[in-house]
Amino acid sequence: MIEPGSLIRSLSGRSAARNFHTFVINEIGHGIVTGKFPVGSILASDAVMMETYGVSRTVLREALKTLEAKGLVEARPKVGTKVSPASRWSFFDPQVLFWHFEAKPDRRFYESLFDVREALESRAAELASHRRTADEIRILKYWAHQMDIAEDGVEPHLLAALEIHRAIAESSGNALLRSVTGVVELTMVLSAKFAPPADLRQRHADYVAQHEALVSAMERGDGDAAVQLMQSIITRDKQQTMAVFG
C-alpha cells in the first residue's frame, strides 16, 4: 500500500523506502501495467524470479499473492503465474494507479479517469457543502493557503491541492467517496506532466483561485456553486492532460 501523495513526491525523484516485499511487488506490477509483462503471458518460474529480484521464495510468494489480490495475476496449477486481462485489475488501488503514470498514454483510459473523478468529486463537493463542519472549513482554508504560498513549487502546490480534495471527500460524510483519492492524484500529476509550456506562475495562480472559490462556496453552503467549481477544476486538469494527444 502506498501513501496519498507518493506519486506527487516521485516527481522530484523522491521515493518511499521499500523492503524486499514491496520491491518485488513494484517491479512486477510496474512491468505488467507498462506492458513489459503482456496480458496473457506467463511470468518466469519462481527460481528465475528469486534470482532476478534477489529474494527468498517466501518473499516472492507473498508478493505474488498481493498482486493476485490486485487482480493483476492469476496462479494456475501446472501452468504458472499468468498476467490477467486488464478488465480484472483493481483500478481504484492507488498502487495500480501509480504504475499507470509511467505507462504509455492511453486516451480511453485517461478519459475514463476523468469521467470517474467528475462523477464522484462533484457529488463529494455537493455533500460536503451541506455536511462540513467549522473545523473542516478551517482545514480547507489552511491547505488553500499552502497552495498559494507554494508559488513555483510544483510538488508542494500539488500536495496542498490533493489535501483539499481529500478533505472534501472526508467532509462529504460518505466513506466510499474517499476511494477516489488515487484517481484524483493521478489525474493531477498527469495534468502537471502534460500541461502546455505556459507560464507556471500564472497556472498556479489560476488553480489557487479556483480552489479558494470552491472552499468559499462550501463555507456558504452553496452546493450548486461548489459542484460547478469542482467541475471547472476537473475540466482544467483534463484539458491539460489530453493535450498530449494533440
Question: What are the chain's domains?
Answer: 6-88 (1.10.10.10), 105-245 (1.20.120.530)
Rounded to an integer, what distance in angstroms lies between the CA atom of residue 109 and that of residue 148? 31
- Quick: pLDDT tens for 179-215: 899 999 999 999 998 887 666 778 888 999 999 999 9
CA atoms within 13 A on the CB side of 205: 5
pLDDT computed for residue 198 by the predictor: 67
Rounded to an integer, what distance in angstroms lies between the CA atom of residue 217 and that of residue 125? 10
Helix ranges (DSSP H) in the chain: 6-9, 20-33, 46-53, 57-69, 94-100, 107-131, 134-150, 154-171, 181-194, 200-220, 223-242
The model's confidence at residue 11, banded by pLDDT at 50, 70 and 90, is: confident
- Quick: pLDDT tens for 123-170: 999 999 999 999 999 999 999 999 999 876 889 999 999 999 999 999
pLDDT computed for residue 92 by the predictor: 92
Distances (CA, A) of 87 to 90, 220, 225, 236: 9, 42, 36, 28
The model's confidence at residue 18, banded by pLDDT at 50, 70 and 90, is: low
The β-bridge partners of 75 are 81
> pTM for the full model?
0.91
Rounded to an integer, what distance in angstroms lies between the CA atom of residue 73 and that of residue 43? 9
pLDDT computed for residue 1 by the predictor: 59
SS3 of residue 4 by DSSP: coil
SS3 of residue 82 by DSSP: strand
The β-bridge partners of 73 are 83
Dihedral sign, Cα of residue 26, residue 31, residue 32, residue 35: positive
Share above pLDDT 90 across residues of the chain, in percent, rounded to a whole number: 82
Average pLDDT over the chain, rounded to whole? Answer: 93
**Does the structure show a pLDDT above 90 at 44?**
yes
Cβ pair 158, 184 in contact under 8 A: no
